[in-house]
Structure 1
């Protein structure tokens, strides 16, 4: 049971083992003013909190209560990198991934989807990601699954495929119309807020789409994202504490993608430093106190 928000809690957390494996569990006292990196606190918790699924805060600063676990293997998907324990999500995301994987399985050469990182069991900051904190972001591999019986060991070693050429200005020969169809299906889903993808793929779709272009608005160019695409869902019903991202600008976004492409092919000259500008402050780790107040209780539950 969740017991209040601001008090001191004794939370049973899995502790990270040292080289000798001296300890397997420990008690960690947690309060909202805790100054330890929140990514460490959330990464130790092995399972979800009780209750219905609720997202608290924003995609890059929040947590997740009542998470559902995407099963490691389903009829049209497999979760990858199981050692990370990041196949947890808001129930709405689990449903979306299952729906999209069924569509992917209708594409020639695709048995379904390989799903990468979603969120931790209780969300929160994740090593290697700025977002993925409220169970509404998911990475979907570009590698077409030709079988869905990968072992746990294989899922740690198999890699996705890169679709970029010229540092992401263009797609390469691994890009297929099946990738396009799956991205179009995902971006057309009303649950989707954005899909992040390398610029060359967005420009290719802009150049080749001859039908309804509405879905292109949801596909946004971003750094990386050439071996996977990143799906972000809108805040779900029943999560009043969830903070939606501002909708993308009107239009298909193709001019923006072509600007990204142009900057890759012809990088603008670096700007000289301003001698009067103060030095940038070092990036600070997100702590529990930086997250919505509900996240202290989410972390402590159970």
Structure 2
């Protein structure tokens, strides 16, 4: 469902026919509805636009659902797109881990939507094609079918109801896989549950430099989250603050003594943030939504240089593609 179809469904043809009203409605519609409706990457060069939790991407690459050393999970979500460097990194980590006998194959969770942007559920980040999740479950043999991947259960590596790693599940291969990922030069951060970070701090040994990239965060007990640096060719990508020096193990007291403690009795729940709208996103994300699908022929350019689209009338001599609804 494209934005035009979405707008027709909720607001009617009269609103769509008015370009000014259409633009206003588009700017005020929750951005997660607009971006989750897109099923294909946009045309144009591969670029990350904005920040990891407020941005989009153009020209995305797709991770194949099945590779020699990986399978993509929850295919119906259509979240297997990212920057070319991200896709290449996933394939490299999967191959290196398999050849080293660390992990038989990655179960890859969410990367990004075809055009990035906020998702309808599950993440605040993953918006610019530079984040991906790896499940804390080795790829089984025989491989999972597409149907099985929709229901195959997550598995926490923590003891139920605690922040302590379950040694009945955990072994050194879990640590070695995280270390392998953290030592890749493209990787800026890896997010894991504070309990997992504690386990890594206790078992890392003397060579601890790789631990600096592994950051504790809420959740992340069923998967770990890999984040890349902004890549060359994306001047509009907003980088994250650099990590500090040291192994980061001295941060854990705050997590266990403050951040993970239950709220005091009678505490008011935090007020939910209003949904992110297109008006609150980088301006270039509007062009990403309006762009044709990747690899699709672009209509001829009318006088003035603006491409024909669903939000402005096209001159009568401009051919309009009919293979898909207009954006």
Q: Match for 1:59 among 52, 57, 67? A: 52
Structure 2, gaps ≥5 residues long = 10-15, 293-327
Structure holding more strand per residue = 1
Following superposition, the deviation at residue 128 of structure 1 comes to 1.8
Contact 1:114 1:141 in 2 (8 A): yes
Greater CA radius of gyration, 1 or 2?
Answer: 2
Distance in 2 (alpha carbons) for counterparts of 1:87 and 1:98: 13
Residue in 2 that maps onto 1:101? 94
Q: Which residue of 1 aligns with 2:311?
A: none
On the 8 A contact 1:34/1:288 being kept in 2, the answer is: yes
Q: Pick from 220, 224, 231: which aligns with 2:219?
A: 224
Cα distance in 1, alignment partners of residues 154 and 99 from structure 2: 20
Cα offset for 1:257?
2.3
State yes or no: 1:195 paired with 2:190: yes
Please report the TM-score for the alignment, with normalisation by the length of structure 1.
Answer: 0.84
Assess, with a 3 A threshold, how the Cα gap between structure 1 residues 215 and 31 changes in structure 2: closer, same or farther. farther
How does 1:21-100 map onto structure 2 within 5 Å?
Answer: 31=23, 34-100=27-93
SS at match of 1:105: helix
CA drift of 1:170 comes to 1.6
Shift of 1:294: 0.6
The TM-score, its normalising length taken from structure 2, stands at 0.78
Q: Give me the whole-angstrom Cα distance separating, in 2, the residues matched to 1:203 and 1:138.
A: 22
Structure 1: gaps (5+ residues):
1-10, 19-25
Structure 2 residue aligned with 1:290: 280
1:159 aligns with 2:153: yes
Q: Give the CA RMSD over aligned residues.
A: 2.8
Measure the CA separation in 2 of the matches of 1:166 and 1:146. Answer: 23
Report the Cα offset of residue 149 of structure 1. Answer: 3.0
Correspondence for 1:177: 172
Residue in 2 that maps onto 1:133: 127
How big is each residue's C-alpha offset from its partner over 1:222-281, in whole Å with a ceiling of 9 and x where there is no partner? 11100100001110111000001001222111011243234588x37738869xxxx976
What displacement does 1:157 show? Answer: 0.8
